[in-house]
Amino acid sequence: MQTNLRLLMLLLITLITPMTYAKDAKPVEPTESKQNAAIATAHPLATQAAIQILKQGGNAFDAAITASAVLAVVEPYSSGLGGGGFWLLHRAKDNHTTMLDGREIAPLAASADMYLDKQGEVIPAASMNGAKAAGIPGVPAALVYLAKEYGQLPLQKSLATAIQLAKTGFPVDDFYQKMTKIRLSSLQQSPAASQLFLRDQKVPKIGTLIKQANLAKVLEAIAKQGKAGFYQGEVADKLVKQVQAAGGIWTKEDLAQYQIKLRQPVQFQYKDLKITTVDLPSSGGLVLNEIFNILQHYDLETMDQAQRVHIIVEAMRRAYRDRAEFMGDTDFVSVPSQRLRSKAYADHLIKTIQLDKATPSRDLPLTSHSDSQGKDTTHFSILDQQGNRVSATLSINYPFGSGFVAEGTGILLNNEMDDFSSKPNTPNVYGLVGTKANAIEPKKRMLSSMSPTFVENEQRFALIGSPGGSRIITMVLLGILEFEKGKTADEIVNAPRFHHQYLPDTIQLEPNLLSEKVQQQLTNMGHQLDQKTTPWGNMQLVIYNKQTATASAASDGRVIGQSQVLDSSLTKRR
């Protein structure tokens, strides 16, 4: 991003951030602990707004509301009020940890075959574009819940910067342009979306101000009326009317009955690390647990690079296979979570791993549920001075979600329905396959890979996560392995990445990751290599060193995010 653009953003945030406490603010808890606060988000405006909220007496949960809402405005391609997400929360004063599940749900009129034609084939892009691709959003309900149960400030205050930014606009940067190009044709099909996010039906020029007056009104309605401001009344009426007019299936009842869920996080040990992460409907926790249980059996440190990549890939392959076979929303299907997480199951799996040979994925076919068959998102990490922690991954799924904006609301709808398995064993946009465990059912939550996570050992703890579709889980995995080696926040977010997800049966490699020699060694073991030309991920990481009582933070150097430790200068953007 050019310097002048960054200055403009800084100026905007200074101008619009209210500097006084709202009269009805809850009393601010004393901050006895002197620990640093730190924030990393995918956009400088969100980081700065969240830092301001901490400075104004908010806690990490207020800052999380601010970050979520500002990202909804300035990163419309990644997340928003029309989407969902998972907030992993830790409250310091009573050592309470929970998972706030604001994932979208399938509309009441949804059905398993809703994206299939008469021949039973998947209709191309039907679950990707337009109003019919959208699940019922969870973000507004989650923000209201977070403010009521965990925040110290009223919602009006935590949402103020997002409302102002929606009114005054944010400047287009090169990343916005890149995301818009990916989804141009989809945005062009929605008059309200193209009016907001395009100029003359084209990608806007750098510096163009994107103003979202209607979105500001919806945020104001939520600030005033809470959940009812979005899920009932005028906003809900407009959303349902517009969605139905565009061929979608939402009803007022869908919106009125939406509920967030609180879930017990998945917790397990890897070496000296305690890992706390999300449970179903995100597959992240179970898949990470399964992979780490397998890796526990190997001494990765003494292996050469090819051997190490091979073992990690074999663990990824098996866990992603089980993702496809077993995982779905546990409110609807029964998932053998305890078995998948058990040491006994890992013992069984390692017997199937050969040290010098890849196991073709076809030799691990999907079985038990196969009878009926089979890019953009955002993450932020926040630690406050009281030791409260938030690791949150939010999404509208693909860049700009469904590309559909409901006229008069400014709400860009998600295309999260594509995270369901539209047809057994038919890959979705991330190449993920599924079985009936993840088939579409009314009110069901679609299986996710979003994996906001806490990692902790004697010396340090980290709040970690990233967008990236199916690759999210392996990014978090590799990040944790780097953390275990004692790496810094900066080193961890910028470490090179590889990925395997069972199908397609290839190791995806970031550019310049492996030497020719290591590639050859892997090929000789029977691995198929898929050398990518562009890197992936947008990791946002906060680390706290308990021994030195200092926080550090880092934003993925691959994209435009920004991290900041409170009272220190802004970290440099690469």
Size of the site for ligand DON (CB under 6 A): 14
Q: Confirm or reject binding of residue 564 to ligand DON (CB under 6 A).
A: no
Closer by beta carbon to ligand DON, 112 or else 417: 417
- 508 residue type, one letter: Q
Question: How do strand 529-531 and strand 507-509 relate by DSSP bridges?
Answer: parallel
What dihedral angle (degrees, nearest 10) is formed by the CA atoms of 563, 566, 570, 572? -50
Shortest distance, CB of residue 325 to ligand DON, whole angstroms? 17
* Closest of 320, 369, 389, 364 to residue 541, by C-alpha: 389
Q: Confirm or reject binding of residue 180 to ligand DON (CB under 6 A).
A: no
What dihedral angle (degrees, nearest 10) is formed by the CA atoms of 481, 303, 322, 448? 30
Q: Confirm or reject binding of residue 297 to ligand DON (CB under 6 A).
A: no
Closer by beta carbon to ligand DON, 387 or else 467: 467
Q: Confirm or reject binding of residue 290 to ligand DON (CB under 6 A).
A: no
Cα–Cα dist 400/176, whole Å: 10
Shortest distance, CB of residue 559 to ligand DON, whole angstroms? 10
Closer by beta carbon to ligand DON, 273 or else 473: 473
Q: Confirm or reject binding of residue 57 to ligand DON (CB under 6 A).
A: no
Question: Which listed range, 65-73, 121-129, 165-173, 448-456, lies at the site for ligand DON (CB under 6 A)?
Answer: 448-456
Q: Confirm or reject binding of residue 472 to ligand DON (CB under 6 A).
A: yes
Shortest distance, CB of residue 516 to ligand DON, whole angstroms? 30
Shortest distance, CB of residue 251 to ligand DON, whole angstroms? 23
- 43 residue type, one letter: H
Q: Confirm or reject binding of residue 279 to ligand DON (CB under 6 A).
A: no
Residues 6+ apart with CB under 8 A from 7: none
- In a 10 Å sphere around its CB, with 0-12 CB exposed, 13-18 middle and 19+ buried, how is residue 425 labelled? middle
Q: Where are the alpha helices (DSSP H) in 207-304?
A: 213-225, 228-231, 233-245, 252-256, 284-295
Q: Confirm or reject binding of residue 328 to ligand DON (CB under 6 A).
A: no
Q: Which residue has the tokens 């799924």?
A: 397
31 is a catalytic site residue? no
Q: Confirm or reject binding of residue 402 to ligand DON (CB under 6 A).
A: no
Closer by beta carbon to ligand DON, 16 or else 478: 478
Q: Which of 395, 402, 438, 564 is in the footprint of ligand DON by CB under 6 A?
A: 395
- SS percent in the chain: helix, strand, coil, step 5: 40, 15, 45
Q: Confirm or reject binding of residue 467 to ligand DON (CB under 6 A).
A: yes
Stretch (H or E) spanning 474: helix 472-484
Shortest distance, CB of residue 245 to ligand DON, whole angstroms? 26
Q: Confirm or reject binding of residue 75 to ligand DON (CB under 6 A).
A: no
SS3 state of residue 99: strand
Q: Confirm or reject binding of residue 85 to ligand DON (CB under 6 A).
A: no
Q: How many CA atoms lie within 13 A of 376 on its CB side?
A: 23
> Taking the mean position of all CA atoms in its chain, how far away is CA 395?
5
Question: Which listed range, 319-327, 445-453, 498-506, 507-515, lies at the site for ligand DON (CB under 6 A)?
Answer: 445-453
Q: Confirm or reject binding of residue 421 to ligand DON (CB under 6 A).
A: no
DSSP of 278-301, one letter per residue? --TTBSHHHHHHHHHHHHTTS-GG
Shortest distance, CB of residue 337 to ligand DON, whole angstroms? 18
Cα–Cα dist 536/495, whole Å: 11
Question: How do strand 498-499 and strand 550-555 relate by DSSP bridges?
Answer: unpaired
Cα–Cα dist 272/485, whole Å: 11
Instruction: Report how far apart, in Å, the C-alpha atoms of 33 and of each of 48, 50, 151 are.
Output: 22, 20, 18
Q: Confirm or reject binding of residue 448 to ligand DON (CB under 6 A).
A: yes
Residue numbers 362-381 binding ligand DON by CB under 6 A:
375-377
Q: Which residue has the tokens 């500097």?
A: 19
Question: Which listed range, 45-53, 401-409, 442-450, 495-503, lies at the site for ligand DON (CB under 6 A)?
Answer: 442-450
Which phi and psi (to 5°) does residue 26 adopt?
Answer: -70, 155
Shortest distance, CB of residue 395 to ligand DON, whole angstroms? 5
Q: Confirm or reject binding of residue 469 to ligand DON (CB under 6 A).
A: yes
Shortest distance, CB of residue 104 to ligand DON, whole angstroms? 9
Shortest distance, CB of residue 487 to ligand DON, whole angstroms? 24
Residues 6+ apart with CB under 8 A from 344: none
Question: Which listed range, 91-99, 148-156, 181-189, 443-451, lies at the site for ligand DON (CB under 6 A)?
Answer: 443-451
Beta bridge partners of 448: 282
Q: Confirm or reject binding of residue 322 to ligand DON (CB under 6 A).
A: no
Q: Confirm or reject binding of residue 419 to ligand DON (CB under 6 A).
A: yes
Q: Confirm or reject binding of residue 401 to ligand DON (CB under 6 A).
A: no
Q: Confirm or reject binding of residue 286 to ligand DON (CB under 6 A).
A: no
Closer by beta carbon to ligand DON, 155 or else 472: 472
Cα–Cα dist 564/149, whole Å: 26
Among residues 47, 161, 377, 474, the one annotated as catalytic is 377
Which phi and psi (to 5°) does residue 448 adopt?
Answer: -120, 165
Question: Which listed range, 110-118, 131-139, 318-326, 446-454, lies at the site for ligand DON (CB under 6 A)?
Answer: 446-454
Q: Confirm or reject binding of residue 468 to ligand DON (CB under 6 A).
A: yes
Q: Confirm or reject binding of residue 422 to ligand DON (CB under 6 A).
A: no
- 521 residue type, one letter: Q
Cα–Cα dist 310/304, whole Å: 10
Shortest distance, CB of residue 378 to ligand DON, whole angstroms? 8
Give the binding site for ligand DON (CB under 6 A): 375-377, 395, 397, 416, 419, 448-450, 467-469, 472
Which residues form the catalytic set?
377
